[in-house]
């Protein structure tokens, strides 16, 4: 149930370069910040605001600054997703998407306003929106499951793509955190957390396709991410929690 989430929260992660799974990296360094805000309730819906700014400095060539901004509002029952995303490269617009997606009996219907006005019918009646997907990952972990395969729609890539995902869930722990850990908060002490590895694939891929990217996170049972590693094959980016603020949970009338 989505009501298992704590209410409003704001987390900031410092981003840095990590060794990639290929053993080779085309980047010399990465620095940046991810600001993540999550708020709402099962009756009013869940609002997520995200901004990721990174400076990528390649081994050869000029440094590039990427700025990704995302705002989504997901219905409490997981039936609808309102999304607005924008991506900039060196302060110039690269792409954006603005639209509303609804789950129907036969899949996901997307009404786009940008990058161009159109209606797209994506035939996948099992696709989940992001918060509903995370709730299913948590439910699987609570039940002792170790694998979850699910399709996900998040409004990215122009708002017209569904990803196939595989989540590998590790062993739960309640081990105490270091005193100086930003997640060492009274409300999180004793709350189980699990390592989760999420692989994202092209939905249409056949056979043994390689993932587009992989994300490894340490996830509290209430949906809060303590750490993350984004692996794109040619390079990887580590997200280390810098600050975490928890606000009182909102309840339905």
pLDDT tens digits for range 15-33: 999 876 666 677 889 999 9
Q: In 3-state terms, what secondary structure has residue 66? A: strand
> In the chain, where do the E strands start and end?
9-18, 27-41, 45-58, 64-74, 80-89, 92-104, 107-114, 118-122, 147-152, 163-169, 193-202, 213-220, 225-231, 236-246
Lowest mean pLDDT among 2-6, 194-198, 202-206, 243-247: 2-6
Q: What is the pLDDT of residues 86-130, one digit of tens each?
A: 999 998 988 889 999 999 888 999 999 998 899 999 988 789 999
Cα–Cα separations (whole angstroms), residue 150 to 26, 154, 161, 229, 237:
31, 13, 14, 20, 24
Q: What is the pLDDT of residues 163-196, one digit of tens each?
A: 999 999 999 999 999 999 999 999 899 999 999 9
pTM of the model: 0.89
In this structure, are residues 16 and 237 in contact, taking their beta carbons and an 8 Å threshold? yes
Buried b (16+ CB within 10 A) or exposed e, 7-18: ebbebbbebebb
């Amino acid at each position: 149930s989505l009501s298992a989430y704590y209410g409003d929260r704001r987390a900031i992660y410092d981003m840095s370069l990590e060794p990639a799974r290929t053993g080779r990296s085309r980047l010399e360094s990465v620095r940046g910040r991810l600001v993540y805000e999550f708020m709402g309730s099962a009756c009013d819906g869940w609002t997520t605001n995200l901004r990721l700014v990174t400076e990528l400095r390649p081994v050869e060539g000029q440094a590039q600054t990427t700025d990704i901004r995302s705002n989504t509002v997901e219905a409490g029952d997981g039936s609808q997703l309102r999304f607005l995303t924008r991506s900039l490269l060196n302060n110039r617009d690269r792409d954006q998407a603005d639209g509303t997606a609804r789950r129907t009996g036969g899949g996901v219907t997307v009404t786009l306003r940008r990058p161009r006005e159109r209606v797209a019918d994506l035939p996948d009646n099992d696709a989940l929106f992001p918060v509903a997907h995370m709730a299913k990952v948590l439910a699987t972990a609570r039940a002792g499951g170790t694998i979850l395969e699910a399709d996900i729609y998040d409004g990215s890539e122009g708002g017209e793509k569904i990803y196939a995902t595989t989540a590998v869930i590790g062993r739960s722990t309640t081990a105490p955190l270091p005193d100086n850990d930003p997640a060492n908060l009274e409300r999180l002490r004793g709350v189980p957390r699990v390592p989760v590895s999420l692989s994202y694939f092209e939905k249409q891929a056949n056979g043994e396709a390689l993932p587009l990217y992989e994300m490894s996170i340490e996830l509290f049972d209430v949906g809060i991410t303590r750490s993350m590693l984004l692996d794109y094959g040619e390079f990887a980016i580590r997200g280390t929690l810098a600050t975490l603020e928890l606000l009182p949970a909102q309840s339905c009338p």
